[in-house]
Amino acid sequence: MNSSTSNPALAKARIAVLGYGSQGRAHALNLRDSGLDVVVGLRQGGPSWQRARAEGFNVAEPADAVKGADLVAVLTPDMVQPALYREAIAPHIKPGAALLFAHGFNVHFGQIAPRADIDVVLVAPKGPGALVRSEYERGRGVPCLYAVHQNASGHAEAKAKAYADGIGGGRALLIETDFKEETETDLFGEQAVLCGGASELVVKGFETLVEAGYKPEIAYYEVMHELKLIVDLFYEGGLKRMLEFVSETAQYGDYVSGPRVVDAGTKQRMKAVLTDIQDGTFARNWIAEYQAGLPNYKRLKQADLDHPIEQVGAKLRARMPWLQNATPKPAAEPLKKVG
C-alpha cells in the first residue's frame, strides 16, 4: 500500500515488533505499509518465523531485533513478556528508545519494571488483529487507546501517537488513557461480560432448557447460535439498534425478565470481580497459576470443552458450512514459556 504516515515522530525510526500472532502480524504489516522501517523479532525455527519471512520481513531473534531499534513493540502473550523483557529487551534496548505494549498488565502489576532511561507507552487497538489489518487495507482504521507511562526522551506521547497512526488508529479515533485504566477495564470486560459473563450466561441458559426437557439442539440454537444476531446489533448501533430489530415480544421480555436474571446481586458480584482486579488478587493468582504449569487453567478449559453444549454445538455447526470461513484467528499465539 505504501501510504506513508503523516506523523513524523517515527519517520526515521527502526521499529522492532516482537511477536507475530494476530496483533503482531497486523501491526507489522500496517506499519510497513505506512512507510516505516520494521524488523520482526521471533524465536528462530517456528511457524511464525517462516511466515514473517515469507511475507517479506527482516526477521531476527528478539535480542537482535531489539538492538538498534528506536521503538520496541511487545506483542507476545502476557505471561511470556517478563522473561522476554529480562532476556532480550532490558540488556539491549538503547537509552531514549521507546518500549510499547498493547496491554498494560505486566507494567501495571509490576512484573516488568522498565529501565528509567527509556520511554514506556501503550497503544491498544479496540479490535482483533484481523480487523486492524482489514480496516487498514480499506483505507480506514480501528480506534486505539494510547498512554504514556514513562517519558524519558520527552517525546513519548508523540511516538505513541505516531505508532497508532502507523497501524491506522489515527484514521479512526485515539483515546488517551493510562496503564492502570486500560489494564483494569480490559480485565473486567473480559471476566464479567465478554468472556466469563457471556459464556456462563449461555451455558446456564442451555442447562436450564435441557433440564426442563427441551431438546439440546433447540436449546443450543436459542441461547448460543442466535446470540450472534444480538451481539452484531449491539456492535453496529448499541441498545437502540438491537431494540429496533427485535420483535415487540422480545423487547417486552427484555424489559421484564432481563433484570430478573442480571440483577443487583449480579452487579455486586461484578464489583467483587473488579475489586480483585484492582487490588492485584487476580493478577497474583494468574501469575502463580502460570508458574505452576497451568493445572487449574487446563482443568477448567477442558471442562468447558467437555460440556454438552460443545458436543451438541459441534454436530450442529458441521451442518452450517457458512460458518467455516467466519471464525477469526486466535487473538494470540498459544501460551508457551520463553527460554
Q: Is 87 annotated as a binding residue?
A: no
Q: Is 23 annotated as a binding residue?
A: yes
Q: Is 21 annotated as a binding residue?
A: yes
Q: Is 22 annotated as a binding residue?
A: yes
Q: Is 3 annotated as a binding residue?
A: no
Q: Is 186 annotated as a binding residue?
A: yes
Q: Which residues pair with 148 in a beta bridge?
A: 121
Q: What is the DSSP string of 101-112?
A: ESS-HHHHTTS-
Q: In the numeric block, which cell numbers belong to residue 229?
A: 444476531
Catalytic residue among 27, 92, 103, 108: 103
Q: Which amino acid is at 141?
A: G
Q: Is 53 annotated as a binding residue?
A: no
- Helices (H), ranges, the chain: 22-33, 47-54, 62-66, 81-84, 105-108, 129-137, 156-166, 179-188, 196-211, 216-220, 227-245, 248-261, 264-278, 281-291, 295-306, 308-317
Q: Is 136 annotated as a binding residue?
A: no
List C-alpha distances in Å: 96 to 70, 100, 205, 291: 8, 13, 53, 32
Task: Specify the DSSP class assigned to residue 44.
Answer: T
CA atoms of 130 and 30, how far apart (whole Å): 11
Helix, strand, or coil (residue 215) = coil
Tell me whether residue 103 is one of the annotated catalytic residues: yes
Q: Is 6 annotated as a binding residue?
A: no
Q: Is 238 annotated as a binding residue?
A: no
Q: Is 61 annotated as a binding residue?
A: no
CA atoms of 86 and 63, how far apart (whole Å): 10
- Distance between alpha carbon 277 and the CA centroid of its chain, in Å? 17
Q: Is 153 annotated as a binding residue?
A: no
> Going by DSSP bridges, is the β-strand pair 144-150/119-125 parallel, antiparallel, or unpaired?
antiparallel
Q: Please enumerate, by residue number, every residue annotated as part of a binding site for NADP(+).
A: 20-23, 43, 48, 129
Catalytic residues: 103
Q: Please enumerate, by residue number, every residue annotated as part of a binding site for Mg(2+).
A: 186, 190, 222, 226
Q: Please enumerate, by residue number, every residue annotated as part of a binding site.
A: 20-23, 43, 48, 129, 186, 190, 222, 226, 247
Q: Please enumerate, by residue number, every residue annotated as part of a binding site for substrate.
A: 247
